[in-house]
Chain A
Amino acid sequence: MSEPATLEVRGLRASVEGKEILRGIDLVVRQGEVHALMGPNGSGKSTLANVIMGRPGYEVTEGRILFKGEDITDLSPDERARRGLFLAMQYPVEVPGVSVVNFLRTAYRAVKGEEISALAFRKLLKERMALLGVDDAMVNRYVNQGFSGGEKKRNEILQLAVLEPEIAILDETDSGLDIDSLKQVATGIAQLVGPNLGVLLVTHYQRILNYITPDHVHVMMQGRIVRSGGKELAHELETKGYEELRRELGLEEQVGATT
């Protein structure tokens, strides 16, 4: 196998509407690794995920994002996706009138750069659906329209399974799920994790880490990664809470990000 694909975030600062949210992030995620990213509400986790994917509206004021050794900071989101990046969104978007199948086939063709017949695609899709326990009815519906919270998250993971990126950022894919859905989504992700996939898993909960063991855990506060460690860090947080960590680190409690 060739060298594993690597996502490198170097000294990244970014603002939204003139307000600085990311205040110097350094992070390296390699294909085959699982990184958990935790941190209180408003600390900037989704912002980081969105900036890595190139979402418009965020301004990178300093630092670079590299993927497979190349600078992707100024590339369009679709170009990043075609190079092997993926973002499962915290709030998946509705696409009225476009069925999941049609959406996925269009994305598949774009990412893989190859034509696939409707029939062959159906077959591939069935396979991935079985893996994740997704039913037929869902893929014939319009993307996220009228989906329950659980269906939306499952749909994100189905896309991940079909598009086979090298690095995926999963932004709170475990939030808003009941116990059964969580289990289904988590085991789904667990099956996809392996030497070919690197994951940055944004989460608030220890639970999902029972299914997917992280190699690294990072804690983000106020737009910075304030602590990194192994999987034991997640347990530590669970018992300690962010309050104590803050005290240890000598950080002031703040509402939202600093200016």
Chain B
Amino acid sequence: MTIATTTFDEEALGRLPAAPPFVEALRKQAFTEFLALPIPSQDTEEWRYTDLSGLELTFTPFAAGVRAENLDGVDEAILRAAGSVGERAGLQIQHNSEVAVSHLDPALAAKGVIFTDLDVAAREHPELVEPHLHALVPTSRTKFTALHGAFRTGGTFLYVPDGVVVEAPLQTLVWLDADGAAVFPHTLIVVGEDAEVTFIDRYASPDLERALSDAVVEIHTGPASRVRYVSIQEWGSGVIHLGVQRARLARDVDLRSVAVGFGASLARVESESVLAEPGASSEMLGVFFADGRQHFDHRTEQDHVAPACHSDLLYKGALRDESRAVYSGWVHVRPGARKTDAMQTSRNIVLSDRAKADAIPNLEIENNDVRCGHAASVGPVEEETLFYLQSRGIPRDEAERLIVFGFFQEVLDRIPVEEVREGVAEAIERELSR
């Protein structure tokens, strides 16, 4: 087999900033996997909706960012992209391949909370990072996770010790403005027993010719912790976004996640919740809006391993122009997962007859003491509703926008944290008024 030309070679690997030994070892191993693994083929079930056969892995492996002393030193445009989320317990900004600035409320640092550059954390807290990094998303999963493992720099490490409650949300913005570059956003969250935290990941860039975002999110939860995780993907056009997010829920964990997908030319995101111990509860909300020729491929998994867990998923998407979106979701109920309560709902509004949406729910139930359900719909905006709004003087396109906003409101209504709800609402408004 011949290997196509790639910028991700041994030499590029050698040029990355030095890392602690365990990270260096991980890089080496992942690089070997990267060379060995094929670009996922559409012949496989997992990748059948996204064609990457023509993708040339010729991105700049490392693009320097501008580091800042503090937030005042950060560029206006970047701060704008971070959104006007009210109160924050911490904010980190990654510019291209490097973390530019990282801020955490000192009162929280005093309680043992760690919120920093993943590379810094790997040096300063290897005992916390090593057991968790790529534990949920192994580098060997696909060629892209291997690439991520080999070339990742920057990233976010968030650690909340047992019993600590972080009231205000923490946020990381990854800002990409180096055309032709690849970035590897990584969020590693480790939450202790009975702790509580809200974290927001944001990805943003101007429109670019071509760029790759190869992202991984790993969420480790301690028993009875309350974790809210939000991702807002607002990459500019030209960006290919491939993301894997996986959470492991311990006993009595309450995890609520929201995934917002607006940007990128092609976005393929896998979100997985593993209900590993009894009493855990996972809510997964999703909002996406595709226009132009955007291609979205969302895959979700609610994996019930332990008994007496609850999971509820609601993904709502709207499509315009010639965009394409596929939602496919799996609910797995393992043999031991008795008294499972799982629900999965996908709703799609298609605003143009050249746009196409598919919703493919899958249930795999291996015991019969469960309550499981799924619902999916794909359809246009009701003509009746449009007429009602138009009869009040609202032009058709604005009426459509209002209806779509209302359609997403159901998800907003389920976000309990006000700052988060407002942040998501603002992103939706920004997207709809483009």
Contact = CB atoms under 8 A, between A and B. Distances in A.
Contacts of A102: 402
Given A78-B399, A98-B406, A93 B385 contact: yes
A163 B392 CA distance: 8
A96 B391 contact: no
Interface residues of A, number: 30
A102 B390 CA distance: 15
Given A78-B396, A93-B384, A98 B390 contact: no
Interface string A44-66: 00000000011111000000000
B59 interface: no
Interface in A79-123: 80-82, 86-87, 89, 92-98, 102-103, 106-107, 110-111
B398 A81 contact: no
Chain B interface helix/strand/loop/mixed:
helix
Given A56-B383, A93-B385, A110-B398, A103 B392 contact: yes
Interface residues of B, number: 25
Given A56-B383, A89-B388, A97-B410, A78 B405 contact: no
Please indicate which of the listed interface residues B389, B395, B396, B413 has the most CB atoms of chain A within 10 Å of its own CB.
Answer: B389
Given A78-B399, A97-B410, A142-B406, A55 B387 contact: yes
Contact of B398 (A86, A106, A142, A159): A106
Contacts, number: 84
Interface string A66-78: 0000000000111
A163 B388 contact: no
B394 interface: yes
A110 B395 contact: yes
A97 B390 contact: no
A110 B393 CA distance: 6
A163 B405 CA distance: 22
Interface of B: 382-385, 387-396, 398-399, 402-403, 405-410, 413
Interface of A: 53-57, 76-78, 80-82, 86-87, 89, 92-98, 102-103, 106-107, 110-111, 142, 159, 163
12 contacts: A57-B383, A77-B387, A89-B391, A93-B382, A95-B389, A98-B409, A103-B392, A106-B394, A106-B398, A106-B402, A110-B392, A159-B392
